[in-house]
Amino acid sequence: MNELTRWDPFKSAVPFGDTVFDMVPAFFRPAARQNGWVGARMDVAETENAYELAIELPGIPKEAIQVSVYENTLSIAGESKEPTPGQERKQEERNWLLRERNVGKFARTITLPEAVDDNASQARYADGVLYLTLQKRRASQVKRLAVH
């Protein structure tokens, strides 16, 4: 017997792998979905001395956001809880007609091209956006020593 296979024009148009993202470095790939949550969408810019990031975290209080930096790795985690209106009712008792807001935990880790100075870096949170300025670590300078 012959089997029918559905033709996918996009699959045959990409000869390099299963997806177009195989050709894109991991740093630039979109955030992965975690239980319906597309966590921490961000913009990253580089200046001569720092990396500047803007990370969307709508509805998350700043107390629920954790940011850590080690060498050239940035990790962001947090949790979005159930909206306050009607919070006294249990989830099972609700008759949702539409639900598009994300609720739950998220985590995102990215690797930056260079190590950053965690002591000189800054974080600010306003209007649901986390702004980070991560100062690049200065390269060790050559220091001449006097010979006595």
Q: pLDDT per residue over 52-98, tens digit each?
A: 999 999 888 889 999 999 989 999 999 887 665 555 455 556 787 88
What residue ranges define each of the domains in the chain, with the CATH number in brackets? 31-82+101-137 (2.60.40.790)
pTM score, two decimals?
0.63
Predicted pLDDT of residue 54: 96
- Judge contact between 76 and 132, C-beta under 8 A: no
For residue 106, the tally of other CB atoms under 10 A from its CB is 20
Distance CA 143, CA 77 (A): 40
Alpha-carbon span 93 to 137, nearest angstrom = 53
Using DSSP, state whether 27 is helix, strand or coil. Answer: helix
**For 19-45, what is the mean pLDDT?**
57
Residue pair 116/69 in contact (Cβ under 8 Å)? The answer is yes
Q: How far is CA 32 from the centre of its chain?
A: 9
